[in-house]
């Protein structure tokens, strides 16, 4: 068996009046992530981790933010397409571990639903998907609620 590890990172600006989708969950908040797709920072970081592990470049290479077909698309679809890309190279996902960094809203109540959304999208158990959240202790652009960041690592195997 061959295994590889991937790392993903994503950041999105937060703007008043925008929807805030994280892990496929619509969060109630006065600000939301701004981007070409639904700007789901968590799923974008996971996609980058998976693509990187399989040596398939990054999310921007496959789903360009200048391509109208991806405008406003659910990042759940981007994740599903990413899984197809790595599967075409013979890889399957072992596990995913992700971290969100934002001041508000509180993420912990939504983590089980995020895990279920991701598990359903990629066909694996919620037991293999870890999501954590932290704040930036009111420092920097995250602390001022100007942006949201996500990190992810994954293990893939062949």
**Would you say 58 is a known binding-site residue?**
yes
**Would you say 108 is a known binding-site residue?**
no
**Would you say 40 is a known binding-site residue?**
no
CB-based contact 85:49 (threshold 8 Å): no
Query: Could you give the CA distance from residue 118 to residue 46 in angstroms, rounded to a whole number?
Result: 10
**Would you say 44 is a known binding-site residue?**
yes
**Would you say 137 is a known binding-site residue?**
yes
**Would you say 10 is a known binding-site residue?**
yes
**Would you say 148 is a known binding-site residue?**
no
**Would you say 138 is a known binding-site residue?**
no
**Would you say 118 is a known binding-site residue?**
no
CB-based contact 150:99 (threshold 8 Å): yes
**Would you say 16 is a known binding-site residue?**
no
**Would you say 7 is a known binding-site residue?**
no
**Would you say 57 is a known binding-site residue?**
no
Nearest C-alpha neighbor of 77 from the set 94, 67, 63, 65: 63
Q: Identify the sign of the CA torsion 51, 52, 55, 59.
A: positive
Integer Rg of the chain from CA: 15
Residue 29 structure tokens: 């908040």
**Would you say 145 is a known binding-site residue?**
no
**Would you say 82 is a known binding-site residue?**
no
**Would you say 12 is a known binding-site residue?**
yes
Residues making up the binding site for a divalent metal cation: 10, 12, 44
Residues making up the binding site: 10-12, 36-37, 44, 58-60, 63-67, 134-137, 141, 144
């Amino acid at each position: 068996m061959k295994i590889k590890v991937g790392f993903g990172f994503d950041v999105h600006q937060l703007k008043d009046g925008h929807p805030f989708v994280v892990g496929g969950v619509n969060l109630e908040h006065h600000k939301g992530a701004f981007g070409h797709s639904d700007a789901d920072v968590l799923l974008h970081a996971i996609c980058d981790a998976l693509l990187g592990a399989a040596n398939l470049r990054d999310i921007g290479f496959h789903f360009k933010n200048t391509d109208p077909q991806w405008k406003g698309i659910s990042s759940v679809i981007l994740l599903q397409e990413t899984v197809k890309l790595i599967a075409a190279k013979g890889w399957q996902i072992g596990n995913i571990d992700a971290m969100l960094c934002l001041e508000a809203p509180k993420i912990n109540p939504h983590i089980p639903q995020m895990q279920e959304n991701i598990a359903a999208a990629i066909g694996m158990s919620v037991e293999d998907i870890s999501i954590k959240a932290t704040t930036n202790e009111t420092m920097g652009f995250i602390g001022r609620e100007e942006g949201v960041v996500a990190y992810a690592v994954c293990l893939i195997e062949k």
